[in-house]
Amino acid sequence: MTDLSMTTPQNPSKTGSNLRKIALRWGLYLILGVFVLYYVMPLYVMITTSLKSLEEIRTGSLMALPRDVTFDAWATAWSGACTGIQCEGLKPYFWNSVLMAVPAVALSTFLGAMNGYVIAQWNFKGANLIFSLMLFGCFIPFQVVLLPMARMLGLMGLAGSIPGLIFVHVIYGIGFTTLFFRNYYVTIPQDLVKAAKVDGAGFIRIFWSIFLPLSLPIIVVTVIWQFTQVWNDFLFGVSFSQAGTQPVTVALNNIVNSTTGVKEYNVDMAAAIIAALPTLFVYIVAGKYFIRGLTAGSVKG
Amino acid sequence: MDPILNIQNLYKNYGSVEILKDINVSIDPGDFLVLVGPSGCGKSTLLNCIAGLEPITSGRLDIGGQDMTDVSPKDRDIAMVFQSYALYPTMTVAKNITFGMKVRGVDAATQEAKLNEVAKQLQMEQLLQRRPGQLSGGQRQRVAMGRALVRDPKLFLFDEPLSNLDAKLRVEMRTEIKKLHQTLGASMVYVTHDQIEAMTLATKIVVMRGGVIQQIGTPAEIYNRPANMFVADFMGSPAMNLIPAKAQSNGEGSKIEIARDGHAPIVLHDTKNRDLPENVVLGLRPEDIAEPGYRSGQYVQKAECHVDIVEPAGADTFVVMQLGGKHVTARLHSDTDAQAGQSHPLAFDFSKVSYFEPNTGQRLN
Amino acid sequence: MSDWLENHLPKAVLAPSFIAVLIFVYGFIAWTGWVSFTRSRLLPKYEIEGIIQYERLFASPRWDTAMNNLLLFGALFIVISMVLGLLLAILLDQQIRTEGVIRTIYLYPMALSMIVTGTAWKWILNPGLGIEAMVRGWGFESFTFDWLVNPDYAIYTVVLAGVWQSSGFVMALFLAGLRSVDEEIIKAAQVDGIPTWRIYSAIIIPSMAPIFLSAFIVLAHLAIKSFDLVIALTGGGPGYATDLPATYMYAMAFSRGDIGQAASSAMVMMGVVFAIVVPYLYSELRPRND
């Protein structure tokens, strides 16, 4: 069959297969387009709902664009919505999350870099066992540490405080940050450390002068990963915080599920978007690194 | 003169695996020592032990007359060039070269002066502000050399520095390293798996296998009087012919009989060596089997051989035949009329012949 | 002396993290394990009383529902995410001009908190004002889509939202896998005249087995840990209809004051994760002898 078409070019069959190709192409784009709608729809609904008035929500359709755009819901969500008894909006909790995430991310990234450097380049007896034990720590269901951690934070005087949450996020973030840096540093030839040793540099000097300047890509990946994890966390937030120190995810859940007063769907949606903005922003600005972190965290290094 | 490097009874184990066994080497100032052997023979480990990058299990290691056995690399007064060059990727060439001085707190003016001196010596002044990623393989190699040179150490260590270069560049750099050694008069230890590199560069060669030193000697000694069949086979290209033969003392010398498939055995007379055991392995370099017209002297013996393959290689033509059940290569002049499948007269020059014990492989004469 | 310090510095640097992991991971698991064998209620007790907590747990209809839900949710969530992820990856692998944009759109839910995802879907699936109301508004008066409040179907809304959140990530994994297949093999197959779908089914997909495993592990792990999504979407309701082990454990620990039950349910979760992850980690870490 191939022989035939090669020796005698047949115009009808050729245009036929071209048509089929074009149809296939269109079909392909159609399917991809349908899934684009599936993934975009919730975000679209959230945004449009947040810009509608309650009246319009009750009378209009879910998918309809807002007739009168109003930012009242956003203002309420930011500074007036009730999370139970308090009605100060998301604002204080948003800052709680910032205060929690920044130190937690910085500390766990720093520790991960040092640990990864040691495990990848200064391999000593038992280092791999330690690495395996740390790695396994990434996979435990955190429910299994909730109870003792609650008591431990109490003993340390950190119960219900933001430093307590930072502590928890650093402890349970080390496994992943170490994994990231270890897998990155293990690709750097060992000769580099040897050369620097002969040059007279020591452990700290080699890290500072040679490895750290090389690490920008993996630092970005790790920071993004950790930031997303810490910002989006709910379990630790709801377990180890108290009124006033709650992170934004817990506050959002409280706003949405608060039973007092009228259900303000537009405020719920505005609050949800506010809570999602930092991580969405990071994703849009540095999506490449975000994906690298996701895949690095799951595919072997 | 005190040896610049003296290694005594050095052992190196990884767990229960012995990597290096009873290493004893010593070199004088100005020596160019080459450690050569197949991969996995322990030569790089030995170099790392000399550098202090690997602790040794037992034994003693002196550099410049001082016990350095437990001294860290930075205090051994050595410089090292790595196979991968190990250039610091985020630093410029200049920073790469001066990093060692910076770490040691050398003042900026001295750093600058030394950098310029080395850059001039290696003709890389125009590269100083570039990063390793922007350099070609040959240029990186130069930078790695520069980083070692600038330190002006007691001992230079090279770990297969040329093996990542292409063939042409490798020959050029080889010459350059040799020139450098001659002008500096420095002491060097050089690891390679390339026996030609070893022959051309060394003043002293250590042939290693399985963590054990097989032979130590000058290139000429190693080439002409290999201590065993491994060294004979490893050094030289094409390799030394190792032909099973029967020996019988007669008169001043020995009668050597080499069996052949389908032909009568070749009988040769070695007038130099006697009292050999009956079964020997005869070792002859390809160049010691030549055309009769090109060789003369009292140790030359002629014989008719059946040629199997003719391989012209420019200046020389190699012919391969079957002797004693082995492929035997002879190096003939390129204008030879030897033809595959035909008989050809050859001259066997016994002046540099080697004999080995077939079972132990040790040299007999 | 300074050499001694230098030689031990790497260990000293690793030590704090190692000790932290020993205490806060392994020590805490041991503590929870211990408490799961006691009669602890509001406060932990340390006298071992045997397996009464586990007997109570397995006799509890609520736990039974939670485990069944986990099985149903986990199976659907994993299978649908994998199938959808693979399909989207293959479709996107056909030299799509706008691939970058589409990929970004498919993957953005992964950047969101599960609480945000739950909140959004809760609103969309709300029978009174969401999709049901919208379709009725189009004239289909008898249309019903009340899964969110229907105890028999509520768990499927969790699957829907979970798949929405995670399938893009699976797609990214598979896409990376598709791209890492040796191009020469594909070219050789094309030269041999093998049709595209056969190239995928016979060559590319089988060579991605490790990625299937990775995706499975990550999704299984997400499913077992799922807590926030259920809390935000259904709150475990209606009734206990969408309870998962994670929400059961939380309820016992922090609302019911039944530490013994919380500990034993956490240990069961741990066991499930252990059974899945340990063989995986073992196989990942073993062949690399560095």
Q: How far is A174 from chain C (nearest CA, A)?
A: 7
Q: How far is A212 from chain B (nearest CA, A)?
A: 10
Cα separations in angstroms, B206 against A46, B7, C74: 76, 13, 65
Question: pLDDT higher for A89 or A30?
Answer: A30
Report the C-alpha gap between A172 and A149 in whole angstroms: 11
| Cβ-defined contact of C115 to A253 (cutoff 8 Å) | yes
User: Which chains pack against A, by 3+ Cβ pairs within 8 A?
Assistant: B, C
What pLDDT, on the 0 to 100 scale, is given for residue A296? 66
| Whether the Cβ atoms of residue A135 and residue A182 lie closer than 8 Å to each other | no
> Which of chain A's residues have a Cβ under 8 Å away from the Cβ of C129?
57-58, 62, 265
> Which of chain C's residues have a Cβ under 8 Å away from the Cβ of A249?
113, 115-116, 228
| Cβ-defined contact of C123 to A49 (cutoff 8 Å) | yes
What pLDDT, on the 0 to 100 scale, is given for residue B207? 95
DSSP, collapsed to helix, strand or coil, labels residue B16 as: coil
Same domain, A17 and A111: no
Report the C-alpha gap between A71 and A76 in whole angstroms: 9
A111: contact with C, CB 8 A cutoff = yes
Q: What is the 3-state secondary structure (H, E, C) of B178-206?
A: HHHHHHHCCEEEEEECCHHHHHHHCCEEE
| Cβ-defined contact of C164 to A42 (cutoff 8 Å) | yes
Is residue A58, in this structure, part of any structural domain at all?
no
Is residue A262, in this structure, part of any structural domain at all?
yes
> Which of chain C's residues have a Cβ under 8 Å away from the Cβ of A287?
104, 107
Which domains does chain C show, CATH number per domain? 59-285 (1.10.3720.10)
In chain C, the largest separation of any two C-alpha atoms, in whole Å, equals 86
Nearest-CB residue to C91 (from A28, A171, A282)? A28
Convert the pLDDT of each residue in B237-289 to its tens digit: 889 999 999 998 887 788 899 988 878 888 888 888 888 899 999 999 999 99
Cα separations in angstroms, C289 against A155, A213, C72: 41, 28, 39
What pLDDT, on the 0 to 100 scale, is given for residue C177? 85
Same domain, A4 and A119: no
Same domain, A106 and A180: yes
pLDDT band at A298 (very low <50, low <70, confident <90, very high): low
| Whether the Cβ atoms of residue C254 and residue C275 lie closer than 8 Å to each other | no
pLDDT in tens, chain C (290 residues): 467 787 888 999 999 999 999 999 999 999 999 988 888 887 878 877 888 889 888 888 899 999 999 999 999 999 999 999 999 998 888 888 888 888 889 989 988 999 999 999 988 888 878 888 788 878 887 777 878 878 888 899 999 999 999 998 899 888 888 888 888 888 888 888 888 888 888 888 888 888 888 888 888 888 887 888 998 888 877 878 889 999 999 998 888 888 889 999 999 999 988 888 888 777 766 654 44
Same domain, A127 and A225: yes
Same domain, A191 and A294: yes
Range of the domain at A271: 91-298
Position B200 pLDDT exceeds 70: yes
What pLDDT, on the 0 to 100 scale, is given for residue C218? 83
A45: contact with C, CB 8 A cutoff = yes
Q: How far is C259 from chain A (nearest CA, A)?
A: 8
Position B218 pLDDT exceeds 60: yes
pLDDT band at A301 (very low <50, low <70, confident <90, very high): very low
Report the C-alpha gap between C240 and C263 in whole angstroms: 20
C43 residue type, one letter = L
Average pLDDT, stretch B26-45? 93
For B5-234, CATH number out of 1.20.140.10, 3.40.50.620, 3.40.50.2300, 3.40.50.300 equals: 3.40.50.300
Position A8 pLDDT exceeds 70: no
pLDDT band at B1 (very low <50, low <70, confident <90, very high): low
Report the C-alpha gap between A77 and C32 in whole angstroms: 39
| DSSP notation for A71-111 | -HHHHHHHHT--BTTB---SHHHHHHHHHHHHHHHHHHHHH
B154 residue type, one letter = K
> Which range is least confidently modeled, A76-85, A266-275, C115-124?
A76-85
Same domain, A100 and A199: yes
- Angle, helices B167-184 vs B137-149, to 10°: value is 20
Query: Which tokens is B13 given?
Result: 């184990």
Ramachandran sector of residue A141 (left: φ over 0; alpha: ψ -120 to 50; beta: rest): beta
Same domain, A31 and A148: no
| Cβ-defined contact of A265 to C215 (cutoff 8 Å) | no
pLDDT band at A2 (very low <50, low <70, confident <90, very high): very low
State CA A76 to chain mean position distance. 26
Q: Dihedrals φ, ψ of A6, to 5°?
A: -75, -45
Nearest-CB residue to A189 (from B86, B91, B99)? B86
What pLDDT, on the 0 to 100 scale, is given for residue C79? 95
Radius of gyration of chain C (CA): 24
Burial pattern C40-78, b for ≥16 Cβ within 10 A else e, equals beeebeeeeeeeebbeebeeeebbebbbebbeebbebbb
Report the first-to-last Cα separation within chain C, whole angstroms.
30
What pLDDT, on the 0 to 100 scale, is given for residue A300? 43
| Cβ-defined contact of A196 to B72 (cutoff 8 Å) | no
Convert the pLDDT of each residue in B134-172 to its tens digit: 999 889 999 999 999 998 899 999 999 998 888 888 999
State the pTM of this model: 0.86
| Whether the Cβ atoms of residue A178 and residue A225 lie closer than 8 Å to each other | no
What pLDDT, on the 0 to 100 scale, is given for residue A6? 40
Same domain, A4 and A103: no
| Cβ-defined contact of A203 to C273 (cutoff 8 Å) | no
For the beta sheet containing B187-192, the strands, ordered from the edge strand earlier in sequence to the opposite edge, are: B78-81, B155-159, B187-192, B32-36, B204-209, B212-217
Residue of chain C whose alpha carbon sits nearest to that of A2: C193
pLDDT band at A183 (very low <50, low <70, confident <90, very high): confident
Same domain, A289 and A164: yes
> How many domains does one find in chain A?
2
| Cβ-defined contact of B103 to A214 (cutoff 8 Å) | no
Convert the pLDDT of each residue in B92-111 to its tens digit: 999 999 999 999 899 999 99
Average pLDDT, stretch B351-364? 92
What pLDDT, on the 0 to 100 scale, is given for residue A248? 93
- Angle, helices A143-155 vs A162-185, to 10°: value is 120
| Cβ-defined contact of A200 to B84 (cutoff 8 Å) | no
Query: Domain boundaries in chain B?
Result: 5-234, 241-356
A235: contact with C, CB 8 A cutoff = yes
Average pLDDT, stretch B218-242? 93
Q: Dihedrals φ, ψ of B168, to 5°?
A: -70, -45
Question: In terms of DSSP bridges, do strands B279-284 and B354-356 run parallel, antiparallel, or are they unpaired?
Answer: antiparallel
In chain B, the largest separation of any two C-alpha atoms, in whole Å, equals 78
Same domain, A160 and A288: yes
Average pLDDT, stretch A205-221? 91
| Cβ-defined contact of A298 to C214 (cutoff 8 Å) | yes
Best B48, B78, B99 member to test A by mutation, with max A CBs in 10 Å, is B99
Position A259 pLDDT exceeds 70: no
What pLDDT, on the 0 to 100 scale, is given for residue A260? 65
Average pLDDT, stretch B186-195? 93
* Helices assigned H by DSSP within chain B: 43-51, 93-103, 108-121, 137-149, 167-184, 195-201, 219-224, 229-234
A3: contact with C, CB 8 A cutoff = no
Q: Give the ipTM.
A: 0.87
- pLDDT cut 90: percent of chain A above it: 40
What pLDDT, on the 0 to 100 scale, is given for residue C116? 92
User: Which chains pack against B, by 3+ Cβ pairs within 8 A?
Assistant: A
The CATH class for the domain spanning B241-356 reads mainly beta
State CA B167 to chain mean position distance. 17
Position B54 pLDDT exceeds 80: yes
Average pLDDT, stretch A91-109? 94
Average pLDDT, stretch B210-218? 94
**Average pLDDT taken over every residue of chain B:** 91
Nearest-CB residue to B88 (from A197, A202, A210)? A210
> Which of chain A's residues have a Cβ under 8 Å away from the Cβ of C124?
41-42, 45, 62
Average pLDDT, stretch B334-351? 88
| Cβ-defined contact of A197 to B72 (cutoff 8 Å) | yes
List residues of A whose CB lies inside 8 A of any B CB: 189, 191-192, 194-202, 205, 209-210, 213-214
Position A16 pLDDT exceeds 80: no
| Whether the Cβ atoms of residue C244 and residue C231 lie closer than 8 Å to each other | no
What pLDDT, on the 0 to 100 scale, is given for residue C286? 64
